[in-house]
């Protein structure tokens, strides 16, 4: 690329010199052969410049696309390792905007300006050198506008960058709103909220339009400003050249050459001015991308151990926790699960049950107290090693685009097809999978689209069985399925829990009656613990939960009689 750039710059610098010599040769009455020779050289210079410019642009496109690919790879890799608190503080649309729109702006900016910048440096230096060689007086006149140009560029750049950052933020807000609207389209149509949603979209869209107008208006002032500087330089060169020519200090050809060199000198600046909005959008996008790349990841502390075997003794010792920027949601939690035990955690919505799962999975660390695994502080165990030993079955089973086989294989990437199918058999999922058109090779959409909630849950259980975890957490694993499917899910979960330390979080108290120990939570605290029979006899918080739930069932049954 350096060779192509150098050749392009040299050819562009030679051409004005040859034009000036050809004009002088014509005026001075030289023979036609010399004029024709100079014109032939000029044509050759233009052709060589065209060829080298094409090669230069081709290489620049390759370099810019490689750079964008690397940035996209680094951004995606970074997103995969950032802590959960990072995602809690941002909406999906904003992150999508940075991953798509901002990267596209950077790619366009690099592609449009990289070759130009590389050629400009050589051209600018060459123009200055030749102008001083031809006439230092006229060179000083031509360069008189450079400080004005630099000052105008700097002033506009400061204003424009902020406006383009605002534009990108507003675009992220619109993307987030659209993403939320599409996800909730059924609710919107069911409750006739189309008009309200459309009005809300119009408000956001108008903010985006105004931000775009402000950014483009400021960036658009760059082009006229550069044209003014170029025309001022032309006028000064023509005036100075005329005065010097009258006194015989320069020739007419030299004046023409100077005007051409002045044009070449200002041309890169004019091209940048014409693409200034693109350049500023690229810079603003790059800043937003590097904000993510500069985010600290949730790295393990030095000396973190990589556990090979986990017996499954879990203990929360005086644990308190608050989400970043929020009030405390857990207060002095004490609980334990011995190896192979099944403990249950129950309580009203918002009591802090799921937060315990977040801490146990090490999406967050407690603010106070310790979580111990086989007597070792969980913060001193490598996250990757610990999560291989932890199985989570959540209320909403998350599947990904791909085949059912690929979704189950997530549990253990090196599993054979036979092992995958055996896990599905254990999860009561094999029969339903084989009824599908392509069986295990059936494609599912994002989030498991095309499958019912119960089918997704059984496949998620198969995935967890394949992973063979030492500790199992079931977070409302049956709350979103119908009664018939729940029986199959419960049977699969019973196999999954066999021989494993299991922590069951549930609203349906029928699913926790056989737990070795039940913890009752309220307001972020554990208010009771014991077996089902012990807690019922106490007539406390657990008894009240049972009365409310089973009383509601009884009332519903009476209405049907």
Q: How many CB atoms lie within 10 A of CB 59?
A: 18
d(C-alpha 498, C-alpha 518), whole Å: 18
2-28 CB burial, b ≥16 within 10 A, e <16: eebbbbbbbbbbbbbbbbbbbbbbeee
pLDDT at 172: 79
Q: For domain 69-291, is the CATH number 1.10.1270.20?
A: no
End-to-end CA distance of the chain: 85
**pTM of the entire predicted model:** 0.69
pLDDT at 558: 42
Hey, what are 515's tokens?
Answer: 């737990």
pLDDT at 1: 45
d(C-alpha 201, C-alpha 196), whole Å: 9
Q: What is the pLDDT of residues 258-274, one digit of tens each?
A: 777 777 776 666 666 55
d(C-alpha 379, C-alpha 300), whole Å: 8
Distances (CA, A) of 275 to 135, 185, 271, 279, 280: 33, 39, 6, 6, 9
The strands making up 376-377's β-sheet, listed across from edge to edge, are 328-337, 314-322, 368-373, 376-377
Low-confidence ranges of the chain (pLDDT < 50): 1-5, 552-561
pLDDT at 182: 76
Q: Nearest Cα to 520, choosing from 511, 510, 507, 537?
A: 507
């Amino acid at each position: 690329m350096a060779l192509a750039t150098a050749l392009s710059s040299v050819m562009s610098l030679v051409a004005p010199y040859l034009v000036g010599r050809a004009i002088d040769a014509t005026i001075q009455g030289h023979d036609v052969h010399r004029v024709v020779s100079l014109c032939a050289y000029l044509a050759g210079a233009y052709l060589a410049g065209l060829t080298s410019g094409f090669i230069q642009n081709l290489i620049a496109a390759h370099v810019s696309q490689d750079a964008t690919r690397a940035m996209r790879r680094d951004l995606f890799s970074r997103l995969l390792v950032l802590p959960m608190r990072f995602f809690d503080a941002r909406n999906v649309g904003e992150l999508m905007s940075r991953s798509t729109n901002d990267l596209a702006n950077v790619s366009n900016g690099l592609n449009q300006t990289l070759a130009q910048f590389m050629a400009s440096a050589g051209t600018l230096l060459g123009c200055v050198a030749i102008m001083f060689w031809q006439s230092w007086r006229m060179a000083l006149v031509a360069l008189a506008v450079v400080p004005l140009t630099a000052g105008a560029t700097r002033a506009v750049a400061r204003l424009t960058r902020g406006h383009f950052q605002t534009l990108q933020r507003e675009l992220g807000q619109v993307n987030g709103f659209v993403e939320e609207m599409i996800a909730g389209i059924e609710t919107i149509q069911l409750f006739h909220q189309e008009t309200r949603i459309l009005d809300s979209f119009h408000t956001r869209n108008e903010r985006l339009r105004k931000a775009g107008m402000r950014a483009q208006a400021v960036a658009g002032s760059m082009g006229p400003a550069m044209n003014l500087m170029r025309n001022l330089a032309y006028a000064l060169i023509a005036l100075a050249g005329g005065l010097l020519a009258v006194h015989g200090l320069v020739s007419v050809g030299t004046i023409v050459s100077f005007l051409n060199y002045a044009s070449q000198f200002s041309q890169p600046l004019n091209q940048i001015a014409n693409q200034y909005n693109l350049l500023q959008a690229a810079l603003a996008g790059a800043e937003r991308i590097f904000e993510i790349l500069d985010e600290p990841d949730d790295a393990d502390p030095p000396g973190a151990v990589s556990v090979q075997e986990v017996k499954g003794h879990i203990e929360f010792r005086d644990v308190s926790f608050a989400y970043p920027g929020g009030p405390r949601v857990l207060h002095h939690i004490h609980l334990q699960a011995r190896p192979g035990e099944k403990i249950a955690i129950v309580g009203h919505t918002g009591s802090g049950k799921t937060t315990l799962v977040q801490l146990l999975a090490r999406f967050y660390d407690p603010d106070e107290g310790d979580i111990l695994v086989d007597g070792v502080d969980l913060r001193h165990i490598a996250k990757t090693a610990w999560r291989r030993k932890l199985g989570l079955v959540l209320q909403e089973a998350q599947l990904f685009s791909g085949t059912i086989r690929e979704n189950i294989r997530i549990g253990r990437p090196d599993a054979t097809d036979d092992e995958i199918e055996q896990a599905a058999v254990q999860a009561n999922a094999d029969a339903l999978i084989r009824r599908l058109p392509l069986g295990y090779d059936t494609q599912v959409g994002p989030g498991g689209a095309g499958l019912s909630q119960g089918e997704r849950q059984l496949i998620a259980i198969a995935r967890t069985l394949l992973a063979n975890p030492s500790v199992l957490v079931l977070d409302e694993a049956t709350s979103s399925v119908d009664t018939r499917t729940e029986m199959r899910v419960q049977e699969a979960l019973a196999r999954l829990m066999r021989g494993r330390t299991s922590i069951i979080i549930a609203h349906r108290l029928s699913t926790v009656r056989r737990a070795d120990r039940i913890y009752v939570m309220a307001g972020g605290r554990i208010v009771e613990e014991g077996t089902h029979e012990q807690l019922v006899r106490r007539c406390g918080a657990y008894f009240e939960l049972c009365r409310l739930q089973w009383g509601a069932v009884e009332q519903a049954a009476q209405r049907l009689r």
